[in-house]
Amino acid sequence: MTEYARRALVASPTPPAQAARAELADAWEWCPLDEADLVIALGGDGFMLQTLHTLLERRGPIVPVFGMNLGTVGFLMNEWRRHGLDERLRRAKAFKVAPLTMTATGADGRIHTLPAINEVSLLRETRQTAKLEVKVNDRIVLDELSCDGILVATPAGSTAYNLSANGPILPLASNLVTLTPISAFRPRRWRGAILPDRARVTLRVLDAGKRPVSAVADQREVREVAEVSIAVDRSRELTLLFDPDHALDDRITMEQFLA
């Protein structure tokens, strides 16, 4: 059993999330986010990602997050219920999620370093097919990939953009990442790869002047990149709390059986 003495309450700006926030505001004592040892997040998956990025970017320890769904899908959230929150927190199951770090070098030489919890994706900016060199650690594994783009996804993100691009679903504790092409043209038979999460993936844009490419870490975009390096950062692990009957690993497993 874990006790969380100092709790922060954050909510999406949507009307349902704000209404739920108003219901909880007077039910418990809340503290500012910077002083909390637990965050209650009200909203959908997009707001959960926003909250997790806020925690990654602030100084100090990264505290656990218990989300309640007031959005659409709510894959990363628990069911919204006002009552019984103390008991739910005592029984909650913790899951560790290690984010990716994207280091993108722009065509202008500027370097951008951004975290990603779901995935890092590279996408063509024009109608011209992107051409990419793909390197794993220090070895070139594809001299030239012609495609609309490519992404590296964590297990937590493998059921999101990665799945829609026909990438594999990864178990949460697998210590793997998936490298998934988006509409690959050449080599035609290449469908991606599953890599150990200690691997570093480097993607170099070929003919960047004619075929510009953008890089996106979750929702944050860097345009006209020349090279992007991606690796898991275990020094900044995030903790998500789930009700025992709605655990994230079970959700990821069951996604494989949905019609």
User: Is 161 annotated as belonging to a binding site?
Assistant: yes
User: Is 4 annotated as belonging to a binding site?
Assistant: no
Query: Backbone phi, then psi, for 113, in 5-degree steps?
Result: -115, 120
Among this protein's residues, is 45 annotated catalytic? yes
User: Is 46 annotated as belonging to a binding site?
Assistant: yes
User: Is 137 annotated as belonging to a binding site?
Assistant: no
98-131 burial, b at 16+ Cβ within 10 Å, e below that, comes to bbbbbbbbbeeeeebebbbbbbbbbbbeeeebbb
> 45, 108, 143, 249: which is the annotated catalytic residue?
45
State the Cα–Cα distance between residues 169 and 194, nearest whole angstrom.
10
User: Is 34 annotated as belonging to a binding site?
Assistant: no
User: Is 163 annotated as belonging to a binding site?
Assistant: yes
User: Is 114 annotated as belonging to a binding site?
Assistant: no
Query: Considering just the CA atoms, what is the radius of gyration of the chain in Å?
Result: 20
User: Is 159 annotated as belonging to a binding site?
Assistant: yes
User: Is 214 annotated as belonging to a binding site?
Assistant: no
* Numbered residues of the known binding site: 45-46, 118-119, 148, 156, 159-164
Which residues are marked as active site? 45
Known binding-site residues for NAD(+) equal 45-46, 118-119, 148, 156, 159-164
